[in-house]
Amino acid sequence: MRALFSRILLSLTLAVAATAPSGPAEAKAKPAAAKGAKKPAKGEKKADKKADKKAAKSDKKAAKSDKKAAKSDKKVAKSDKKVAKKKPRPAPGVMGDLTKDGKPNVQSRQGIVIDLDTDEVLWARQADVVRPIASVSKLLAAIVVLEKSIDLDAKQTMSDVDERVGRRGAHSRLLRGYTLTNRDLLHAAMLGSDNRAVSAMGRSVGLDSAAFAAAMTQKARDMGLKHTRFGDPTGLNSQNVSTAREVVEMLRYALKNETLASILRTHEYTAKFTSGKAPKARAGEIVYRSTNRTLRGSPYKIYGGKTGYTDPAKYCFVVAGELDAGRRVGMAFLNGAGELTRFGDFRRVAAYLKQHPPLMIARPLDEVEVTEAVGAVLYKDPETAAAAAEGEAPAAEEPAEVGGAAPAASKGRAGGDREPADEDAPR
């Protein structure tokens, strides 16, 4: 039994010896190798997983960017298509010359354009609406004094009466005590729109302010201007009213007078004055530049014109001239919102007529109701207007727009026209 046990123990010992490492070094190496083999496998797997995750994230980001770029390209293409369909717009601050229906883009609320040779109405908007006309009134004032045979070489001294007449108007450089010829005063009234000059001319022919206005109204009646009347000779009174159509006739009549026609096409004039009594009298000069800007730099031959402004009338302008191909036209623009609007309206109409010389561009005149006005308030019948003059009129009615609405008028000076900003001071 003991021999059998010994034999089994020997067999087990030999078996263990066969599987054990041959030496200490080999025994150490194998566990180390096994351990080392496990570490690289684990690290590589982790790195691969991280790289795959990063790549997936990058692909997702790229796809998102591509989608955004495609959307942007689509938007740009749509915008380009939209722009291609639209007509080019004018630059900011520049008014387009034409309306959507291809007519002159006139901004003044009332106006008319007439062929002076054929009397054909080429364009009209509320041409028979009665409106305050401000200093355009001075055309009739000049006609009245010239037809009363005013002595243009006679001298007149500015007085406190002249100061009172022009008190509510623009600044005047004709000071009390200045002595000038009536010729100088006529230039001051037409070019510089000086209110005191008008009063002084009236005194030269024996007319005070009220008598002067009455004479102007009567002259308008004699000329067949049924809707034109005057409350004062300067235009400061809002009772000085007319229509765009009648204002053109007023200018046409004025241009028949050679003296007045010459002054109305003059751009600049130097008036000479004396002040004080001899031997201490001093002499001086006042340079007047026309408020009619079309006389400066216009490509057209301008026969003459007159501007006007008061708060009720807004910006007004009447002008006559020769356009391309010798076409003679008269234009009137009333109730403009800005100081330069009236001159822009002239340019826009002239440019249109250059491109469309044979076409008539007016809207039917039977669409326009003749209205009467007292100040800046419009009424649709003369009887109501007459009642308003007596202070018995009902609430005013708004006139209907014909030919498209114009922008609302802006606030301005209290009354009276003025000369250009580059006007020289008296010297």
Contact 175, 130 (CB under 8 A): no
Identify the CATH class of 110-389.
Answer: alpha beta
Helix (H, G, I), strand (E, B) or coil at 72: helix
Q: Is the peptide bond before 279 cis (omega within 30 degrees of 0)?
A: yes
> How far apart (Å, rounded) are the C-alpha atoms in residues 30 and 33?
5
Token pair recorded at residue 303:
């026969």
Which residues partner with 328 through β-bridges? 322
Q: What is the pTM of this model?
A: 0.66
Tokens 């001093």, located at residue = 282
Cβ neighbours of residue 324 under 8 Å, at least 6 residues apart? 300, 353, 354, 357
Which residues partner with 125 through β-bridges? 111
Domain boundaries, the chain: 110-389
For the chain, which residues score pLDDT lower than 50? 25, 27, 29, 32-34, 36-37, 90-94, 359-414, 419-427
> How far apart (Å, rounded) are the C-alpha atoms in residues 160 and 94?
45
Q: What are the DSSP E strand ranges found in 153-222?
A: 155-157, 178-181
> How far apart (Å, rounded) are the C-alpha atoms in residues 121 and 115?
6
Per-residue pLDDT tens digits for 292-319: 999 998 899 999 999 999 999 999 999 9
Q: Count Cβ atoms below 10 Å from residue 274 Cβ, excluding itself.
A: 16
Per-residue pLDDT tens digits for 176-229: 999 999 999 999 999 999 999 999 999 999 999 999 999 999 999 999 999 999
| Amino acid at the residue 155 | K
Cβ neighbours of residue 28 under 8 Å, at least 6 residues apart? none
Predicted local confidence at residue 136, as pLDDT: 98
Predicted local confidence at residue 369, as pLDDT: 38
Contact 332, 326 (CB under 8 A): no
Predicted local confidence at residue 424, as pLDDT: 33
Predicted local confidence at residue 187, as pLDDT: 98
Q: For residues 200-210, b (16+ Cβ closer than 10 Å) or e, as one string?
A: bbbbbbebebe
Tokens 């080019």, located at residue = 88
Helices 195-204 and 138-147, packing angle to 10 deg = 20
Measure the CA angle with vertex 345, ends 343 and 349; round to 5°.
Answer: 120
Helix (H, G, I), strand (E, B) or coil at 262: helix
> How far apart (Å, rounded) are the C-alpha atoms in residues 38 and 251?
110
> How far apart (Å, rounded) are the C-alpha atoms in residues 136 and 291?
11
Q: For residues 88-111, b (16+ Cβ closer than 10 Å) or e, as one string?
A: eeeeeeeeebeeeeebbbbbbbbb
Instruction: Look at residues 180, 378, 417 and name the one whose alpha carbon lies nearest to residue 289.
Output: 417
